[in-house]
């Protein structure tokens, strides 16, 4: 089982596999071009026998590197490709330097180096696919520098020769393509995980709703009707019902934003009831998916507390404001209010609904959730929560 798991390619490897395969096809084409160039140039070499030995070395390395790079399910394919890219650079630089051993100055000063510029591009392509555009550009600059040094052309305008712009441009373009492929693969996997998590959450919600939540709701309703000693049981059942609903809503993957934003308004207006009024701006309020879910869950918890504690005739009001710099959500009710210090007492008793479901959620977003009427009003003046989240935090930047 462990060996099989190790043999499975990582997502980044899967994303760049088509690029590696295309690179191996290009390696074959450039090899054929280099051999043809050798046939055309060998009459002008001073050491023709050595030039054929070097070309044979180039052909052997091309085959070995192609086979090594094609090991897609090797236990450590990334390390293997690192060795291939490093080997490419050593072979390319060695063959370029060997040009001076097979030709005189007049020849190598005005012609391509021995392995040809096109074949040397394989090293740049491998570095770009493996490490991205920066590595590709650096590799292109290195190979270009070696070519200019071997041909003794530093005193000329290097940009008039195609070597530098071609190698650097190839490194940049292939590096950007590799990074784009990796990001696309990552976003695809995030979308798959989000879909799976959503389906599992919905399945769990149905099963829990058909069983536990219905029982808790029945105990809460019947206990409130009977009164007396069962009132506390009804109160506890109501708290657990809220906590369980919140737990189900948290099953989505927080990390799975995928750069997507959602409109916060529908998440809040969906909580409107005959006793809950929701007011939102007339234009969309786009925020990160996770931030939107967390804000909506905090508001849902506040409204649940209104239903449980504010009294049977209490009404609640939710107001969403977008100031440009931050989001402000106000949840107010006209119920019996909360006595000063009651939240601290509840937390000391181990009842963490407010501290975790409201304050903790918003704090995790870098915002604040303040209970204003515990300080300003007091018992009999209702309860007012003010939730503030900066635009930067809400967008997940």
For 74-117, how does the pLDDT look when each residue is reduced to its tens digit (9 = 90+)? 566 677 788 888 888 898 888 888 888 888 887 777 777 777 77
C-alpha distances in Å from residue 392, one per residue of 287, 298, 366: 9, 19, 9
Least confident of 29-43, 213-227, 254-268: 254-268
Report which of 166, 161, 154 is spatially closest to residue 118, judged by C-alpha positions. 166
CA 6 to centroid of chain Cα atoms: 23
* pLDDT for residue 209 is more than 80: no
Q: Angle at Cα 156 formed by Cα 39 and Cα 110, nearest 5°?
A: 15
Confidence tier at 254 by pLDDT (50, 70, 90):
very low
State which CATH number among 3.40.50.1820, 3.40.630.90, 3.40.50.280, 3.30.565.10 fits the domain covering 260-397.
Answer: 3.30.565.10
Alpha helices by DSSP H, listed for 103-160, are 105-110, 117-131, 133-151
Q: Which residue has the tokens 């609904």?
A: 353
C-alpha distances in Å from residue 33, one per residue of 38, 119, 365, 381, 395: 9, 8, 58, 86, 52
User: What digits encode the pLDDT tens for the residues 280-301?
Assistant: 888 888 888 888 888 988 888 8
**Is the dihedral angle over the CA atoms 315, 320, 323, 328 positive or is it negative?**
positive
Confidence tier at 6 by pLDDT (50, 70, 90):
very low
């Amino acid at each position: 089982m462990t060996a099989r798991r190790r043999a499975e390619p990582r997502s980044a490897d899967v994303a760049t596999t088509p690029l590696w395969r295309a690179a191996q096809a290009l390696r074959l084409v450039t090899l054929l071009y280099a051999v043809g160039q050798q046939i055309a140039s060998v009459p002008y070499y001073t050491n023709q026998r050595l030039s054929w030995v070097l070309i044979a070395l180039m052909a052997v390395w091309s085959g070995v590197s192609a086979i090594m790079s094609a090991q897609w399910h090797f236990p450590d394919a990334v390390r293997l490709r690192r060795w291939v890219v490093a080997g490419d650079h050593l072979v390319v630089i060695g063959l370029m330097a060997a040009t001076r051993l097979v030709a005189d100055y007049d020849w190598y000063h005005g012609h391509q180096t021995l392995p040809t510029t096109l074949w040397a591009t394989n090293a740049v392509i491998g570095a770009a696919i493996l490490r991205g555009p920066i590595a590709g550009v650096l590799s292109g600059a290195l190979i270009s520098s070696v070519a200019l040094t071997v041909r003794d052309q530093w005193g000329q305008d290097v940009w008039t020769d195609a070597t530098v712009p071609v190698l650097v441009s190839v490194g940049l373009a292939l590096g950007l393509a590799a990074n784009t492929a990796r990001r696309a693969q990552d976003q695809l996997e995030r979308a798959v995980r989000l879909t799976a998590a959503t389906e599992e959450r919905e399945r769990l919600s149905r099963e829990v709703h058909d069983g536990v939540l219905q029982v808790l709701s029945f105990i809460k309703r019947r206990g409130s009707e009977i009164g007396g000693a069962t009132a506390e049981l009804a109160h506890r059942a109501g708290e657990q019902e809220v906590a369980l609903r919140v737990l189900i809503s948290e099953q989505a993957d927080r990390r799975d934003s995928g750069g997507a934003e959602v409109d916060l308004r529908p998440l809040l207006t969906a909580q409107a009831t005959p006793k809950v009024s929701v007011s939102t701006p007339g234009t969309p309020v786009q925020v990160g998916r996770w931030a939107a879910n967390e804000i909506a869950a905090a508001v849902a918890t506040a409204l649940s507390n209104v239903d449980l504690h504010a009294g049977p005739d209490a009404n609640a009001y939710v107001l969403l404001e977008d100031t440009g710099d931050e989001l402000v959500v106000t949840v107010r009710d006209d119920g019996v209010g909360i006595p000063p210090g009651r939240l601290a007492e509840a937390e000391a008793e181990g009842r963490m609904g407010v501290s975790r479901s409201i304050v903790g959620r918003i704090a995790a977003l870098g915002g604040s959730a303040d209970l204003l009427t515990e300080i300003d009003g007091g018992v009999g003046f209702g309860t007012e929560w003010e939730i503030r989240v900066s635009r930067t935090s809400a967008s997940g930047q």
